[in-house]
Amino acid sequence: MKMRYSNLNNVSSKKSFRDLRKWQKERRSKVKDFSKSIPQCANKKVREIQENRSQTSYTWIGHSTFLLQLNGLNILTDPVWAKRMGFQKRLTEPGIPLKQLPEIDVVVISHSHYDHLDFTTLKKLKGNPHYFVPVGLKSLFVKKGYQQVVELNWWESTEYKGIKIHFVPAQHWTRRTLTDMNTSHWGGWILQTLDESYYFVGDTAYFSGFKEIAERFTIDTVFMPIGAYEPEWFMADSHISPEDSVKAFVELKAKQFVPMHYGAYWLADDTGPEALERLLKEWKKQQLPEEQLKALTIGETVLDQSQEN
């Protein structure tokens, strides 16, 4: 019998067929403009990224995909260059074409949903990356032919070439087939060097785990999801709203907020611009310092946490 994983406090994300029907009915009554999208960066530094082996940087590819350059390593989070998700076309092009990436050393996967784990993308990556995945997911990678795979459970850690890699909780769920629901875990990744730490939250609802993460780690930069929250009665136990993402950021006591998981795929009833607008409104309402929020354009790179491209 397969192991089934659960959330903290056994919070369930399971929805009934009746809930799905209710959502479908609501969706038909809404008029949303998905033609407005998150802009591409006007000054992409692809060559600099390809040649960089010394400076710390991060680049938003789109959705939950970032290229981080730490300790001379190229690290990808949830690499997905897929042109479609289900029946829907991708709303925005990836910030950097897959073929223009440098060789990848490390890939971290938050969970197995298709908008976070795309094996077609992984097959095309340059280099021979090491994969760090949630517990329960290694067997699928091995079946697909990947050998350099490390799986971690919540609060477990490892080290790779000077970077400490920690797997921390999230509130979500996962499934790739009709029979494998929650047979692998989900969570976020904290990447620590001697000088700084990056917290890739993955996919999550707001939950008490943020406070516990803050007790265990000092976070410099957090890559925080803000999209796929509408309708909130349906999504609130698996996707965080922009307002709650700000609340989580404050609880984490992090220095920099970088929003993600919005504008690339039509996963719920909110649009990318709506999510960003609500985030900016809440940020202002909470009177947080403007310099702590870094809403990137697609393909934008931040060097050394201070230099903007």
Whether pLDDT at 38 is above 70: yes
Q: How many angstroms from the chain centroid is the CA of residue 47?
A: 25
Identify the burial level of 181 via C-beta atoms within 10 angstroms of its C-beta, where 0-12 means exposed, 13-18 middle and 19 or more buried. Answer: middle
Strands, E assignment, 73-148: 73-77, 84-85, 88-89, 106-108, 130-134
Confidence tier at 13 by pLDDT (50, 70, 90): confident
The closest alpha carbon to 217, from 251, 258, 261, belongs to 251
- 244 has pLDDT over 80: yes
**Distance (Å, whole) CA 187 – CA 201:** 7
pLDDT in tens, 130-163: 999 999 999 999 999 999 999 999 999 999 999 9
Please, what are the domains in the chain? Answer: 39-308 (3.60.15.10)
pLDDT beyond 70 at 209:
yes
Q: What is the pLDDT of residues 267-292, one digit of tens each?
A: 999 999 999 999 999 999 999 999 99
**Helix, strand, coil percentages, rounded to 5, for the chain:** 25, 25, 55
Cα–Cα distance between 112 and 172 in angstroms, integer? 11
The predicted model gives 78-106 an average pLDDT of: 96
Alpha-carbon span 136 to 184, nearest angstrom:
4
User: Largest Cα–Cα distance of the chain, in whole Å?
Assistant: 54
